[in-house]
Amino acid sequence: MDILSFNDFIADATFTYNALANDAWVTNRRVKRNGPQDWSLFKKKTEENEHKFWIECKRRNKAMKLEDGGRVQVSFELVPILQADACPVGEGRKEPNIDPFLPPPVGRLKWSWNPCVMAA
């Protein structure tokens, strides 16, 4: 019963992409999965966040019953091998971070022993 460490299992999720894979195979082009269209007066729609969607995660409790494990926002794209070889990309935010460009996370807590840095 430790506090979260780097290898703790929190939850998992799955989704199917059979139709996307079939479309990518037949047309030999990039295919992106679109999430459900969340409508909001205050949220500006951009091409970047049109392809992001939320996946509900589940986990088993001590009684081995499924319970909510949170959710994660993802984007999913299938790319033909010729296009992938022509434009190699790094893993995550490693170089080359170009297609798609992944900006650094915003709003994370900056850990420091200096309380002035923690408050900023």
Amino acid present at 48: E
Distance CA 95, CA 23 (A): 30
Distance CA 64, CA 62 (A): 5
> Best-predicted range by mean pLDDT among 15-24, 32-41, 97-106?
15-24
Q: Please, which pLDDT band fits residue 78 given cuts at 50, 70 and 90?
A: confident
Output 43 or 7, whichever has higher pLDDT. 7
The pLDDT of 28-45, averaged and rounded, is: 64
Which pLDDT score, from 0 to 100, does residue 67 have? 92
Output 10 or 3, whichever has higher pLDDT. 10
